[in-house]
Amino acid sequence: MRPLELIARTAQSFRSQVFVTRGTNRVDAKSLLHLLTLGAEPGMELDIDATGDDANEAVEQLVKLIGSEFEGIGPA
């Protein structure tokens, strides 16, 4: 699975609202379509934030996921 799909699916597994920001562009991490509009590429810096009862966990998981550089997955 492509990295962005993995991000969206991971985000969707939490109740919290989760956002990914690149520069001034902040989008819903649960929306693959919105994630695509970030135009993110390997090596770029992304910010992640979340609000909700499992917000901490959500951010932690996503940071881990992105930090692992999507091991075992093909290029973006």
Partner 1 sequence: MLIKRGIAVSPGVAIGPAMVFGTENFRIPQQLIATNVIEIELSRFRAALDATCDEITVNEQLARERLGDQYAAIFSAHLLLARDQQLVAQIEERIRQQNSPEFAASQILRQYAKRLRDLGGQYLAERSVDIYDLEKRLLRHLLGERREELSNLTAPVLVLANNLTPSETANLDRKFVLGFATEVGGHTSHTAILAGALEIPAVVGIGKFLDDVSGAQTIIIDGSHGVVIIEPDDDTLAKYRDSEARFRSHEQRLKSLREFPCETSDRVAIKLMGNIEFPNEAEPSREKGACGIGLYRTEFLYLESNREPTEDDHYRAYCQVLKAFPGEPVVIRTLDLGSDKMPGALRAAYPESVNPALSVRSIRLSLQHLELFKTQLRAALRAAVLGDLRIMFPLISTLLEFRQAKMVLSDVVEDLEEQGVEFRRDVAVGMMVEVPAAAIMAEEFAREVDFFSLGTNDLIQYTLAVDRADQAVSGLYRSGDPSIVRLIRMVVEAAQRNNISVSVCGQMSSDPMFIPLLVGLGIRQFSVTPHAIPELKEVIRNLTIERAVGIAERASSLEVARDVENYLWGELKKLCPESMQLD
Which residues contact partner 1 (rule: CB under 8 A)?
1-2, 5, 8-9, 28, 30-34, 36-37, 39, 41, 76
Q: How far is the CB of 18 from partner 1 (least distance, A)?
A: 12
What is the Rg, in whole angstroms, of the alpha carbon atoms belonging to the chain?
11
Q: Give the burial string for 49-63 (b: 16+ CB within 10 Å, else e).
A: bbeeeebeebbebbe
Q: How far is the CB of 25 from partner 1 (least distance, A)?
A: 11
**In a 10 Å sphere around its CB, with 0-12 CB exposed, 13-18 middle and 19+ buried, how is residue 11 labelled?**
buried
In the complex, minimum distance from the CB of residue 12 to partner 1, in angstroms, rounded to a whole number: 9
CB closer to partner 1 out of 63 and 76: 76
